[in-house]
Structure 1
C-alpha cells in the first residue's frame, strides 16, 4: 500500500474525533438565527431550524455520514439496521422499515435525514405534516458522497469538519489512482441478485467505485438501467474477466451449480470470482475510500494458474 495512502488513511480516525467535538455557539446568536430554507437532492423544499440540535437518520449510510460530520451528541437515534460506527449502537432504535412513526415522533427530532429509495415520500409527507422536516440525499457517484458530506456540514454548521474529511478522502483517492496498473481494465460483472440474475449497471455507486478501483463494468455500454436483469446466454456473450458476488467456493455450490453453463466464462475459469464486504460496498458512506481500496485489491489479483 502506498505510503501516502497509509498516512492519509491513518488520519481518518483523528478526523472522526474532530467531528465528535461539540459546537460552542453563543446563545444569543443561536436564538436570533433564522430557520434554514433548504432544497434536498430530490428537489424538495423544506425548512430546518437554524441550528438543529436533535437529528437522526433513517438509513445506515446516513448514520455513518452524521457520525463523520455532526456533533455526535445531537444524534438521538439509529435504525435497526445501523451497525457502524460502534458508538451508534448505544443510541435508541427507531424501526425504519416499516417506519415506526410513533416512536420517531416521540423523539422530537429537529430534522430527519434519509436517502432516495430508503424512506418513502409518503412517510416523509406524514412526518412533515407533524412538523418534522425530512432531508433526502441521492448517491450515484463517489463525488455525490463528498457533496453529501459537505451539505450535511453546511446544514449542521460543521463545515470545517466536513471540509477536512472530504479533503482527506480525495487525497486518499488520488493515492489509490497512482497504484492502478497500466493496460486494459478488467471487465467486471457484479451480481446483486442470483435468481433471476440482476447486476449492477449504469448510474450506480458500485459502478463508479469499480471505475475508480481500476475496473470496467461489463454491462454499462449495453443497458441504461441501474440494475438490469441478464440471461445466461448474455453473460456467456459478455464473458467477464472478474465476477463479484461471493467467494468462489460459495458461488460454485450455488450460483454456478444453478447455472452450470456459466462455468465457461473467463472469471470462473481463472478463479477470479470474489466476495466483497457487503455493508462496506453497498453503503454510500465516509468509508468509500476503504471500499475502493478493497475492490482494487480484488481486481489486481492474478488469474489462477
Structure 2
C-alpha cells in the first residue's frame, strides 16, 4: 500500500502504482508524457495540445471546467490528475466517485518542482522526475545570471478581453513576471483586488502606468487591433505579444520557458525600426 499527499493536503492510498491516468490539465499532460507515461494516459482534455498527437490517440473527456463524467468512468482510470485553478472543486468532488483524484496547486516554480517529484513517486518514475527537476534548477540558476543586469520594469499582463482581465497576485503568471524582473502593476493594488481582476483600460495609467503591456496567445488570442486599443490609453508602454504557454504552463515546460524568456528580453531590447 502506497499513501501519498497531494498539494491540497489530501492523502491518497494505492495498492498498486496507478496504470490508467486521466489528466485534466494541459501542462500536466505534457509532464506525464515527458516522464515516459504516454502508455498510461487514457484520457485528456481538448486543451491538452502538447504533444499534439495525443489528441488523436487518447480519449477526449471534455474541457478543464466541464467534463463528461460518464466518459471518464468508462475509461476505468486508476487516478485522475486535476489542478486547483484549472478545474472546479465541484468537478473534483464528483470525479472522486470514480477513483482517487490527485489535485495540484501551483503558484511558484518550487510548487512545480514539488509536483514533478510527487509524480515521480506516484507513478514510479523517480529517476525521470529527478532529471527534470535537475534540468529546471540548472536552467533557473542560469537564467538568474542572465537577468541580473536587466533593470526592473513595470508591467501589465492581460489574459482576457470583453471584459479586459489581467493576471495579478498569487498566480503562476505573476511568478513568471517576477522572475523576469517585471513588477506587476496590479499586484497588491487595492483598486484591482483579486487574482484575475477586471480592468478598465481607460484607467491603466492611473492604476500603475506600466512600461510594458503583455498580450499573450492564450487563453485569449490577442490581436493587433487589441494592442492598438490598449495603446490609446497608455503613456509610453511598449505592447509585446508573447507565447501565453511560456508564462502559464508549468512542469517540464519550464525548461523551454527559460530559453524563451532569454529570447524575449533580447527581442525587447532591440531598437524599434
Aligned to 1:129: 97
Residue 72 (1) aligns with residue 47 (2): no
3-state secondary structure, aligned to 1:179: helix
Greater CA radius of gyration, 1 or 2? 1
Aligned to 1:160: 127
- Of 196, 209, 215, which aligns to 2:182? 215
What are the Cα deviations for residues 126-160 of structure 1, in whole angstroms up to 9, with x where unaligned? Answer: 33223x11110011112211111111111111111
Whichever structure has more strand as a proportion of its residues is: 2
- Of 5, 10, 16, which aligns to 1:50? 16
Residue 106 (1) aligns with residue 74 (2): yes
Residue 85 (1) aligns with residue 51 (2): yes
Q: Answer with 288-297 or 50-59: which moved more.
A: 288-297
In structure 1, list runs of 5 or more residues that go unmatched: 1-33
Q: Aligned-residue CA RMSD in angstroms?
A: 2.4
3-state secondary structure, aligned to 2:151: coil
Whichever structure has more helix as a proportion of its residues is: 1
Contact 1:213 1:292 in 2 (8 A): no
Q: What are the within-5 Å matches in structure 2 for residues 174-253 of structure 1?
A: 174-182=141-149, 184-223=151-190, 225-232=194-201, 234-237=203-206, 238-245=208-215, 253=225
Aligned residues: 262
Q: What are the within-5 Å matches in structure 2 for residues 1-12 of structure 1?
A: none
Contact 2:150 2:181 in 1 (8 A): no
TM score, norm. by length of structure 1: 0.77
- Of 239, 245, 255, which aligns to 1:273? 239
Contact 1:200 1:207 in 2 (8 A): yes
CA distance in structure 1 between the aligned counterparts of 2:35 and 2:131, rounded to whole angstroms: 10
Contact 2:168 2:184 in 1 (8 A): yes
